[in-house]
């Protein structure tokens, strides 16, 4: 493996010509006419640059083909990050799938961006897994670093200090558990990058017919489904109730597994649903929840019903369910107290022994100052701990809480507006940094 010395960033852009075949010079590329002369051990191999050490910067990556032709084939381009000290193996921090003919239509050039941080080195690599007739005369990979603007640097530095300066939170009771958060054994936990690499994550993406994006919203879907299955809820005949479902695919996935589901959302004429309608995230009937690729229409129609319901005033007849869930919904109920009241009240919709799984926002910047009212609130650690103690005092059970922050570059990255569709696990929201958090509650006998 080849590396280069660290290249310093400056106020001006720095252009780096990264040899696309430097990592494995002899290997023949899947794109005819490129690479070396020896057959590749990886039949999908297209290119792999050497690893290059970069200072913290936004990196613009250009893939420049000369004489590229293709009518079929889709290439997957990845950026891998490797610590300079070799403390961890390389990890993929960003992925882009693109049809080769689209690169041809763009004049042979594909442009991507990713964010580099100090202490890491980066390689760009490509694979072509499908049939292809792609051919090219030559190929270059050009990296152009652009220093972050001062306000960006200050925002990210403040966020990192507030979150990553303390790896261990003081444990007030046995309710808080140390260690890594995993999907294999889910508890009340945060979204971390390592969970995206677990076999369970890919299994659920296959059931949901979704491409993998390292985005916390996708994690929420997987976490909810994995938790419900792990604790025996997703089985034929089980009854589920979803709150604020929008157009999420979870009802279809549950119905395909034989569950009977009632999906709820605000009434379409409720003023509070306007913003969700404008962004195509509000549901007012079954058709917006229908995903034939996940669940056949006849099975869906047999197993899914839709109800209008206000999470601040749950209808009294929504009772007797084996499980309930909500995905990033109860932070939009107007205040922290309204959100906590929802979690408490939703327990009454369950049969004794039934399970509730809810995801929402966790303030990683402060356990004191936060956004406690308005369209989106940020719950603090103390809010969840107070909620858990209250639920336990009422005879219910709460899964242990793991405030795992993760230990990879993806976990250390804080996304800022305009937000990315990938590498979006932690984000800056105003002066705070937040991530997704899931809480699991089992109803007691009361």
Q: What is the pLDDT of residue 434?
A: 95
Largest CA distance in the chain: 73
| Arch. (CATH architecture) of 3-148 | Sandwich (2.60)
How big is the chain by its Cα radius of gyration, in Å? 24
Strand partners, 325: 242, 357
End-to-end CA distance of the chain: 62
Q: What is the pLDDT of residue 84?
A: 86
Q: What is the pLDDT of residue 94?
A: 83
Domain spans in the chain, listed from the N-terminal domain onward: 3-148, 153-442
What 3-state class would DSSP assign to 256? helix
Q: What is the pLDDT of residue 162?
A: 56
Nearby residues of 99 by Cβ (< 8 Å), 6 or more positions away: 73, 74, 75
Q: Please determine whether the domains at 3-148 and 153-442 fall in the same fold group of CATH.
A: no
Whether residue 418 is preceded by a cis peptide bond, meaning omega within 30 degrees of 0, is: yes
Angle at CA of residue 400, ends 394 and 406, nearest 5°:
145
CATH of domain 153-442: 3.40.50.150
Paired tokens of 353: 């022994």
- Which single residue is written with the structure tokens 């890491």? 120
**Nearest residue to 273 via CA among 263, 262, 284:** 284
Strands 239-243 and 260-265: parallel
Q: What is the pLDDT of residue 159?
A: 54
Instruction: Report the distance separating Cα 243 and Cα 342, nearest Å.
Output: 10
What 3-state class would DSSP assign to 315? coil
Paired tokens of 434: 């937040």
Q: What is the pLDDT along the chain (446 residues), one digit of tens a residue?
A: 444 333 333 345 578 999 999 999 999 999 999 999 999 888 999 999 999 998 877 889 999 999 999 999 999 999 998 888 877 788 888 888 889 999 999 999 999 888 887 788 999 999 998 899 999 999 999 999 865 555 545 555 555 555 544 433 333 447 888 899 999 999 999 999 999 999 999 999 999 999 999 999 999 999 999 999 999 999 999 999 999 999 999 999 999 999 999 999 987 655 544 444 434 454 567 999 999 999 999 999 999 999 999 999 999 999 999 999 999 999 999 999 999 999 999 999 999 999 999 999 999 999 999 999 999 999 999 999 999 999 999 999 999 999 999 988 888 888 888 788 888 999 988 889 999 999 999 999 86
């Amino acid at each position: 493996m080849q590396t280069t010395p660290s290249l310093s960033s400056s106020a001006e852009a720095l252009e780096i010509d990264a040899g696309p075949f430097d990592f494995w010079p002899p290997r023949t590329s899947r794109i005819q006419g490129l690479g070396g002369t020896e057959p590749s051990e990886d039949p999908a191999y297209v290119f792999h640059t050497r690893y290059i050490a970069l200072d913290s910067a936004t990196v613009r990556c250009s893939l420049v083909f000369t004489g590229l032709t293709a009518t079929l084939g889709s290439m997957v381009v990845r950026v891998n990050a490797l610590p300079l000290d070799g403390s961890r193996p390389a990890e993929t921090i960003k992925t882009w799938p693109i049809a080769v003919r689209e690169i041809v239509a763009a004049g042979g050039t594909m442009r991507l961006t990713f964010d580099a941080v100090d202490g890491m080195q980066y390689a760009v690599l490509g694979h072509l897994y499908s049939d292809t007739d792609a051919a090219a005369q030559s190929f270059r990979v050009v990296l152009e670093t652009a220093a972050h603007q001062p306000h960006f640097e200050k925002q990210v530095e403040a966020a990192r200090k507030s979150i990553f300066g303390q790896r261990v939170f003081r444990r007030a009771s046995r309710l808080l558990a140390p260690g890594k958060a995993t999907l294999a054994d889910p508890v009340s936990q945060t979204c971390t990058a390592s969970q995206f690499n677990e076999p369970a994550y890919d299994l659920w993406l296959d059931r949901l017919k979704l491409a993998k994006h390292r985005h916390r919203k996708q994690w929420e879907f997987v976490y909810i489904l994995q938790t419900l299955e792990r604790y025996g809820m997703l089985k034929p005949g089980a009854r589920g109730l979803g709150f604020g479902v929008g157009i999420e695919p979870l009802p279809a996935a549950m119905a395909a597994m034989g569950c009977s589901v009632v999906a709820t959302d605000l009434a379409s004429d409720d003023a509070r649903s306007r913003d969700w309608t404008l962004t195509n995230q509000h549901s007012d009937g079954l058709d917006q929840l229908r995903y034939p690729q996940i669940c056949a229409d006849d099975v869906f129609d047999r197993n899914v019903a839709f109800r209008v319901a206000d999470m601040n005033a749950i209808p009294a007849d929504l009772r007797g369910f084996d499980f309930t869930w909500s995905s990033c919904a109860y932070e939009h109920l107007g205040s922290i107290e309204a959100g906590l009241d929802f979690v408490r009240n939703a327990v009454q919709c369950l049969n004794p022994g039934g399970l509730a799984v809810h995801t929402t926002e966790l303030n990683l910047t402060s356990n004191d100052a936060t956004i406690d009212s308005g369209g989106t609130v940020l719950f603090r650690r103390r809010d969840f701990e107070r909620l858990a103690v209250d639920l336990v005092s009422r005879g219910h059970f709460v899964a242990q809480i793991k405030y795992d922050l993760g230990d990879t570059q993806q976990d250390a990255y804080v996304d800022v507006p305009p937000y990315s569709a990938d590498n979006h696990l932690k984000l800056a929201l105003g002066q705070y940094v937040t991530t997704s958090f899931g809480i699991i509650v089992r109803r007691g006998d009361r």
